Amino acid sequence: MIRCQIRFALAGIALAAILLAGCAKKPPEAVPGPVRPAPKSAEPAAKIRIVYIPKQTGNPYFDSIIAGFKKAQEELGFDFETVGPAVGDATSQIPFIQQQTQKRVEALAVSANSPDAIKPALMEAMKAGIKVITVNSDITGNEDGREAAVLPMDFNLTGESQIALMSELLGGRGEFAILSATTDAPDQNFWIKGMKAAMKDPKYRNLNLVEIVYGNDDQQKSMREAESLLTKHPNLKGILAPTSVGITAAAQVIETQKKADRVAVTGLGTPNQLRKYILNGTIKKFALWNPVDEGYIAGYLLNGMAAGKIDPAPDGSFEAGTLKERKFGDKNIVITGPPLIFDKSNIDQFNF
């Protein structure tokens, strides 16, 4: 540098300016920042913010999905937050979605309480550049309100497999009722449609569906509904609750009324919530899938979408960490896995 300056003094001002530029260019670190952009690696990487909105807070089922997101977060390093309504009403998630749109988070996952009520809010989020997917519960019939969905199992098989379980427990004969979640719940409604279709099979001709009631995925209301089913239908042989809240409530009622030998309870629930009822014989068998895996896959998918590395398209695929390659099916639906049946012999192998 000193040698350069001596030469500048001798050569005159115009030449000095040219030479100074030339000399200064030699060591790249001497170039002032604004002239040349800093190398990419020196830029602090902005963290992708992923927000998950469950159907409702206080339902342990969604804690398992959250645990899956957190597992993916540990592996991928995104920011993760979960916010949601206390009740699972059709419109309860709307303000939470709008709040995230205002915050301009990068990615949003929602377990939909309604197939249509939340669509406008999701469309607004997407318009603001937010990557939006549904998890566990889709906006069936309004799939353009999200880019992809991570669902627990092939929902086309859920209804029939639930009826098969009920039929097995009733020896193929008798009255049963369905205790569902909310009247709007898109997944439960789809499964119930599947149950009704399955019952057209002659092998279920002696099964009689007497009523469908809704406990709103609220423990107290679900218990009241289960109790009134028992009063209204003295010949009731089974309660089929395709919701983790409903099945727990029904089991509690049957246990209290000591009716396990007369009324079979089954449906969908979590092993941790139903373990005691399986072990004391109130429930013989129930089904579910792995909600932790659901959240984990959703975390990988949203992180990849927000980073511009995954662009959902039918027949495309992506890598979901330890759960390996996952494929997008029709309507960009990603299936988590096969259903699991729990009973006394295997319940202790599961912890969610």
Q: Which of 167, 244, 266, 282 binds ligand RAM (CB under 6 A)?
A: 244
Q: Which of 207, 249, 254, 268 binds ligand RAM (CB under 6 A)?
A: 268
**Whole-number minimum distance, CB 244 to ligand RAM, in Å?**
4
**Interaction of residue 300 with ligand RAM, rule CB under 6 A:** no
**Interaction of residue 121 with ligand RAM, rule CB under 6 A:** no
Q: Which of residues 180-209 bind ligand RAM (CB under 6 A)?
A: 181, 185, 187
Candidate ranges 6-14, 53-61, 91-99, 279-287; the one touching ligand RAM (CB under 6 A): 53-61
Q: Where are the beta strands (DSSP E) in the chain?
A: 49-53, 79-82, 107-110, 131-135, 148-151, 174-180, 207-214, 236-241, 264-267, 286-288, 317-319, 325-327, 333-335, 340-342
Nearer to ligand RAM, 61 or 80 (CB): 61
**Interaction of residue 217 with ligand RAM, rule CB under 6 A:** yes
Q: Which of 134, 142, 222, 243 binds ligand RAM (CB under 6 A)?
A: 243
**Interaction of residue 218 with ligand RAM, rule CB under 6 A:** no
Q: Are 56 and 85 in contact (CB under 8 A)?
A: yes
**Whole-number minimum distance, CB 191 to ligand RAM, in Å?**
9
**Interaction of residue 153 with ligand RAM, rule CB under 6 A:** no
**Interaction of residue 250 with ligand RAM, rule CB under 6 A:** no
Candidate ranges 3-11, 41-49, 96-104, 239-247; the one touching ligand RAM (CB under 6 A): 239-247
Q: Which of 326, 271, 338 is nearest to 299 (CA)?
A: 326
Measured CA to CA, the distance from residue 83 to residue 66 in angstroms comes to: 11
CB atoms within 10 A of CB 81: 13
**Interaction of residue 179 with ligand RAM, rule CB under 6 A:** no
Site string for ligand RAM, 62-101 (x = CB under 6 A): ----------------------------------------
The letter for the amino acid at 141 is G
Q: What is the CA radius of gyration of the chain?
A: 28
Measured CA to CA, the distance from residue 348 to residue 276 in angstroms comes to: 11
Q: Are 82 and 69 in contact (CB under 8 A)?
A: yes
Token digits for 215? 């406990």
Q: Which of 114, 136, 158, 208 binds ligand RAM (CB under 6 A)?
A: 136
Nearer to ligand RAM, 244 or 282 (CB): 244
**Interaction of residue 137 with ligand RAM, rule CB under 6 A:** yes
Residue 264's DSSP bridge partners are 238
Q: Where are the beta strands (DSSP E) in 215-332?
A: 236-241, 264-267, 286-288, 317-319, 325-327
Measured CA to CA, the distance from residue 305 to residue 326 in angstroms comes to: 14
Q: Whose CB is nearest to ligand RAM?
A: 61
Label residue 234 exposed, middle or buried (CB < 10 Å: 0-12, 13-18, 19+).
exposed
Helix residue ranges, H only, 30-143? 60-76, 94-103, 119-127
**Interaction of residue 290 with ligand RAM, rule CB under 6 A:** no
Q: Which of residues 311-350 bind ligand RAM (CB under 6 A)?
A: none
Tokens 């205790």 found at: 179
Nearer to ligand RAM, 76 or 212 (CB): 212
Going 191 to 195 to 200 to 201, the CA torsion angle's sign is positive
Q: Which of 245, 250, 254, 302 binds ligand RAM (CB under 6 A)?
A: 245
Interacting residue ranges for ligand RAM, rule: CB under 6 A: 55, 59, 61, 111, 136-137, 181, 185, 187, 217, 243-245, 268
